[in-house]
Structure 1
Amino acid sequence: MRRILVFTHTGRQEAIAAAIETCSLLKAAGAITVMRRKDHEAMTDAIGEAIESIEILGEDCQIDDVDLGVVLGGDGSVLRAAELVREAPLPLVGVNLGHVGFLAEAERSELAATVDALVNQEYTVEERMTIEVKVWLDNVCLAETWALNEAAVEKANRERMVEVVIEVDGRPISTFGCDGVVMATPTGSTAYSFSAGGPVVWPDVAALIMVPISAHALFAKPLVVSPDSVMAVEILTRTDAGAVLWCDGRRTIELPPGARVEVTRSSRPVYLARLNTTPFSERLVNKFELPITGWRGPAKVDARRSATAALPVIGPGLQSVEPHHRDEPGIPMVARTDDGPE
């Protein structure tokens, strides 16, 4: 029998209700429900009695015995679950109970169909790049962690900017005062990086992203670099303003002046279960409710015709014309009236 680990947001009644329904659906489908003890206790308190046939993770079974994880909540819940199962590794599928839910694969209304597909193994598994994050000070590694979405260096005090220098592959790019710098994966490009003005990067693109936040500089544009590059942010010592490092909004460490944060691609990805093959472009439109009115789409293959002679074709007889002033006599570049050029 398949064991499916159910994660839920114990602080939300909607999530607990969804967990109770998920357990019932899994039992009816012949699967074994596995939960963490704290999630199981939250469900028990909500209904006033313990639900039978649920195994407790770490007591009745281990993470290696589990086939799949179901996360009931928003993107924050998926990030929390990824932190817990990354060592396994265990595929996760998110059921969105939040707002945008970019990491979620299904909505609350699709819960029954989702459980049925998972039990019958009607899904594919997708790898998502993660990053390794190291904090250095005077050649001493203060901390080492990872992130699925991003590592964000932020100013520690609201009233003072943090002075930084950004670096790629051991070469400085620019120095400026700012509110912070986000270093993200393609998965994280639709999260904090997106809010800071960074580009949307398709999840299957191998790249790393660096996005300054409210930088006081002429050149502080988002950068998209090779997945094999090393991105770094150094906190300058010309002021005593400190900073804080946040990884996926969950793990944090204070950064004193002189600290250095290095980000590289991790060799250990996170695995997400996909229930359908909806293109990322369509997910982008649906999640952000983007306007697409007026779109006509590409011509159908059987309706396409070869080009006609209506447009001139430039061949070997191409001529070049030297640049000239628009008012140069003899070259009618602009329409003229009696009062001069229009």
Structure 2
Amino acid sequence: MSRRVLILAHTGREESLKAAWEACAQLHGSGLIPVMQKTELGDMVRFFGRLDHPVEVLHDHVKLPDVELVMVLGGDGTILRAAELVREVDVPLLGVNLGHVGFLAESERADLAQTVEWIASREYTVEERMTIDVQVWVRGQKIWHTWALNEAAIEKGNRERMLEVVTEVDERPLTSFGCDGVVLATPTGSTAYAFSAGGPVVWPEVEALLIVPISAHALFAKPLVVSPRSRLAVEILNRTDAQGVLWCDGRRSVDLPPGARVEVTRSATPVRLARTHQTPFSGRLVRKFELPIQGWRGPMPQAEAIHTGPVPIIRTPRPMPPLPSPRHAGHGDAPDPSPDPSTEK
């Protein structure tokens, strides 16, 4: 059975076009069939002038469910665009970073050939990343329904006017404050917008939801980590006429008038990411953020078990009996009186 790999690239950049060209050639050389979208394939043909190997066109020659894996050439923005395409068909994504941090990417540009070899030999695993379901309500009517892999970010619509919001967890109000916005994020999004807003880094395997205020004018407006079963909500208060805007993964947006309500819950449909490395998440943090680790010595070697002898028992000595009290004259024998120095000769 033929194995097909869809290549998605940011074809507006020359580096992405070159990487896509190399990926197609290497996949073909490994016995796999490269697949591209018609517009991106057209951009590549116009740039290089011709193709030395056959490339199938998505939706013309092959359907998306028939693709084994999607190789994404670009940064996190390109991976988020790919997630929109494949989320409903259960096809994993494997990112090759051509951007800056590229936290969602699995490989770097220099590892492209090695990545193709891993795909050809099926040396990759697939992990599921939590997504969130996002609804917007205005005057009791649902006006928008979408999802997000990283976050739903509520931001002020005008630079000169801050938003007045109230946050809610499990249908109970928590606190209200003025702010520049609020980020409702997944663990995957904890290293994206929520991280820039001062939120905590959450390991991907931790099931949780995050609430991170942006530049809040309040005493108790700290980042919160709540249960993945919780229902989160943020309401734009009517104290002012400040408008807001909701962005999901920085790609889809809707305006939020005063009185609008944004509700976020865990989605039943995750995004699947392919992994070729078994590097722990802490190693990914160090590599992507270039964290200083000089001086680290590592875990101490396991020493032989030390067995102690019996615990010595310290016996408390018996208390001494109290000394007899001196007896007064006329009550029995009295101690000999001390000699009077004046009677001594």
TM-score (norm 1): 0.88
Label 1:68 to 1:216 Cα distance change in 2 as closer, same or farther (>3 A). Answer: same
For residue 168 of structure 1, what is the aligned residue in structure 2?
Answer: 169
CA distance in 2, matches of 1:246, 1:307: 61
For residue 181 of structure 1, what is the aligned residue in structure 2?
Answer: 182
CA distance in 2, matches of 1:167, 1:51: 57
For residue 72 of structure 2, what is the aligned residue in structure 1?
Answer: 71
Alignment of 1:115-126 (within 5 A): 115-126=116-127
For residue 127 of structure 1, what is the aligned residue in structure 2?
Answer: 128
DSSP-derived class of the 1:292 partner: coil
Query: Which string of whole-angstrom CA distances, capped at 9 and with x for unpartnered residues, describes residues 39-60 of structure 1?
Result: 1011011101245411111110
For residue 45 of structure 2, what is the aligned residue in structure 1?
Answer: 44
Letter in 2 for 1:103: L
CA distance in 2, matches of 1:307, 1:225: 44
Alignment of 1:167-316 (within 5 A): 167-301=168-302, 303=303, 305-306=305-306
For residue 102 of structure 1, what is the aligned residue in structure 2?
Answer: 103
Identity of aligned residues (%): 64
Letter in 2 for 1:218: L
CA distance in 1, matches of 2:120, 2:144: 40
Query: Which string of whole-angstrom CA distances, capped at 9 and with x for unpartnered residues, describes residues 27-85 of structure 1?
Result: 10010011111110110111012454111111101001100000000000000000011
CA distance in 2, matches of 1:51, 1:73: 23
DSSP-derived class of the 1:202 partner: coil
The answer to whether the Cα contact below 8 Å between 1:89 and 1:271 also exists between their aligned partners in 2 is yes
CA distance in 2, matches of 1:267, 1:158: 36
DSSP-derived class of the 2:88 partner: coil
Alignment of 1:80-95 (within 5 A): 80-95=81-96
CA distance in 2, matches of 1:304, 1:179: 57
For residue 145 of structure 2, what is the aligned residue in structure 1?
Answer: 144
CA distance in 1, matches of 2:306, 2:259: 63
CA shift, 1:304, in A, is 5.4
Q: Which runs of 5+ in 2 are unaligned?
A: 310-345
Letter in 2 for 1:171: R
DSSP-derived class of the 2:279 partner: coil
Aligned residues: 308
The answer to whether the Cα contact below 8 Å between 2:25 and 2:53 also exists between their aligned partners in 1 is no
CA distance in 2, matches of 1:55, 1:198: 43
Label 1:307 to 1:226 Cα distance change in 2 as closer, same or farther (>3 A). Answer: farther
Structure with greater Cα Rg: 2
DSSP-derived class of the 1:86 partner: helix
Query: Which string of whole-angstrom CA distances, capped at 9 and with x for unpartnered residues, describes residues 143-180 of structure 1?
Result: 00000000000000001101100111011111011000
CA shift, 1:22, in A, is 0.2
The answer to whether the Cα contact below 8 Å between 1:182 and 1:213 also exists between their aligned partners in 2 is yes
DSSP-derived class of the 2:166 partner: strand
**C-alpha RMSD of the superposition:** 1.3
DSSP-derived class of the 2:89 partner: coil
Query: Which string of whole-angstrom CA distances, capped at 9 and with x for unpartnered residues, describes residues 157-206 of structure 1?
Result: 00110110011101111101100000000000000000000000000000
CA shift, 1:307, in A, is 8.9
CA shift, 1:291, in A, is 1.0
Letter in 2 for 1:292: I
Label 1:15 to 1:307 Cα distance change in 2 as closer, same or farther (>3 A). Answer: farther
CA shift, 1:6, in A, is 0.2
Label 1:208 to 1:304 Cα distance change in 2 as closer, same or farther (>3 A). Answer: farther
The answer to whether the Cα contact below 8 Å between 2:24 and 2:34 also exists between their aligned partners in 1 is yes
